[in-house]
Amino acid sequence: MIRFNNQNSTFFKKSLIFFSDTVRTIFKGDRLRRISKKLQQISKEYSHKKNKRIVIIDYGCGSMEISKRLQKSKYIKKIIGTDIFDFSYKEKKLSYLAYKDFSKSKIKADLIIIVDVLHHIGIDKANQILNNLSKTSKNIVVKDHFEHGFFSRHLLRFVDFYANYAYGVKIPKKYFDEISWQNQIKKTKFKEKKLIKNFQQHDGLFNFILSKKHHFVSILEHES
């Protein structure tokens, strides 16, 4: 996934990005197609529930590749992406707001999506992030990883290194398991409406390397 701040990358890192994207293309490693489809389905359900087109926050959006796919849905009015770097980006349905500005804003949204972000921030900080975001929306969808023991953890770290090293993204030392994820939710006022385990994110070789047992989608709703 190309990120906004890629223009300042070294030649070596740009080469790694090109290599990574090429391998993903050849071996059907598109990590966004299935999750985008699932988010489109969830967005449609929220739109019908609220009887209106909805506003979405894409938290930790990178270059908004998921948002670019979601914007095609007629059920979505606007998507606002936020991440830690400065960049100017605006299209008809999409806009970008650096996190330093987003955290000071009083923006309200119908739904927040957080895709493969929380483990990079730190799994023990997930409850803080969710509590902070409850001021923006009462509905959050989280896509993240479950580890299943020592080997599984280091497989996830290897894949994260492969996908993110060239972008300078921090590689976590550990990931959620189902117990730690539920414990994080208990420290918030959110209720988990649905937990989708064994979510298949990849196709082809990439699904063989990092199987669906490592992926989950959690649909959260604020209790108040």
- 86-111 confidence digits (pLDDT tens): 887 778 899 999 999 999 999 999 99
Burial class (CB in 10 A: 0-12, 13-18, 19+), 139: buried
Rounded distance, CA 157 to CA 79, Å?
A: 30
Q: Which ranges of the chain would DSSP assign to H, the alpha helix?
A: 11-26, 33-50, 65-70, 99-102, 118-121, 126-133, 150-164, 178-186, 204-209
* Mean pLDDT value across residues 41-63: 95
Tokens of 158: 């290897």
* Mean pLDDT value across residues 19-39: 75
In this structure, how many other beta carbons lie within 10 angstroms of the beta carbon of residue 87?
15
Q: With bands split at pLDDT 50, 70 and 90, how would you rate the model's confidence at 2?
A: very low
pLDDT of residue 165: 65
Q: Which ranges of 55-106 would DSSP assign to H, the alpha helix?
A: 65-70, 99-102
Question: What amino acid occupies position 56?
Answer: I
Residue 137 has pLDDT above 70, yes or no: yes
User: Would you say residue 1 lies in a domain?
Assistant: no
User: Would you say residue 2 lies in a domain?
Assistant: no
Rounded distance, CA 43 to CA 35, Å?
A: 12
Which is higher by pLDDT, 182 or 10?
Answer: 182
Residue 14 lies in domain:
7-222
Rounded distance, CA 63 to CA 68, Å?
A: 9
User: Would you say residue 199 lies in a domain?
Assistant: yes
Tokens of 138: 């009462």
User: Mean pLDDT score of the chain, rounded to an integer?
Assistant: 88
pLDDT of residue 11: 66
User: Would you say residue 130 lies in a domain?
Assistant: yes
pLDDT of residue 3: 53
Of 143, 144, 141, the residue nearest 46 (C-alpha): 141
Of 6, 9, 160, 139, the residue nearest 83 (C-alpha): 6
* Mean pLDDT value across residues 217-222: 97
User: Would you say residue 66 lies in a domain?
Assistant: yes
Rounded distance, CA 49 to CA 47, Å?
A: 5
CATH number for the domain harbouring residue 164: 3.40.50.150
User: Would you say residue 202 lies in a domain?
Assistant: yes
Domain count, the chain: 1
**DSSP letter (8 states) at residue 107:** -
Tokens of 69: 């796919």
Q: With bands split at pLDDT 50, 70 and 90, how would you rate the model's confidence at 1?
A: very low
